Amino acid sequence: DVKVTQSSRYLVKRTGEKVFLECVQDMDHENMFWYRQDPGLGLRLIYFSYDVKMKEKGDIPEGYSVSREKKERFSLILESASTNQTSMYLCASSLSSDLTSKETQYFGPGTRLLVL
């Protein structure tokens, strides 16, 4: 079974703090994704990565950055946390970077972040 783990289930941070959310997958997947989930808005893609050290902006990248130094690990960074970044953050991975791949994305359990 594919396993995607996230470093924290719950986090409480203060406005202005630098926040790191870590995601690790154990299936040698090439693609990794960061989403945020908000009620009534569904999942929105923040950033994704299709290879080590490669990253692409998603639909809502403002206020976030990412790092992928190793294939299995994809980090989401909030340089200066703000209250509007309070949300559920979900990491996902998928196998192939082939443009026409039919692979499914596999999700981690999520990190619920509260910024005070």
Partner 1 sequence: AQSVAQPEDQVNVAEGNPLTVKCTYSVSGNPYLFWYVQYPNRGLQFLLKYITGDNLVKGSYGFEAEFNKSQTSFHLKKPSALVSDSALYFCAVRDAYTGFQKLVFGTGTRLLVSP
Running DSSP on this structure, what letter comes out for residue 105?
P
Binding mask 1-30 for partner 1 (x = CB under 8 A): ---x----x---------------------
If one asks whether residue 110 binds partner 1 (CB under 8 A), the answer comes out as yes
**Under 8 Å CB-to-CB from 46, ≥6 apart: which residues?**
34, 35, 36, 58, 59, 60, 61, 64, 66, 76
Short-list 8, 9, 58, 62, CA closest to 31: 58
The residue range among 11-19, 48-56, 61-69, 74-82 that interacts with partner 1, by the rule CB under 8 A, is 48-56
If one asks whether residue 84 binds partner 1 (CB under 8 A), the answer comes out as no
If one asks whether residue 56 binds partner 1 (CB under 8 A), the answer comes out as yes
Shortest Cβ 8–partner 1 spacing (Å): 13
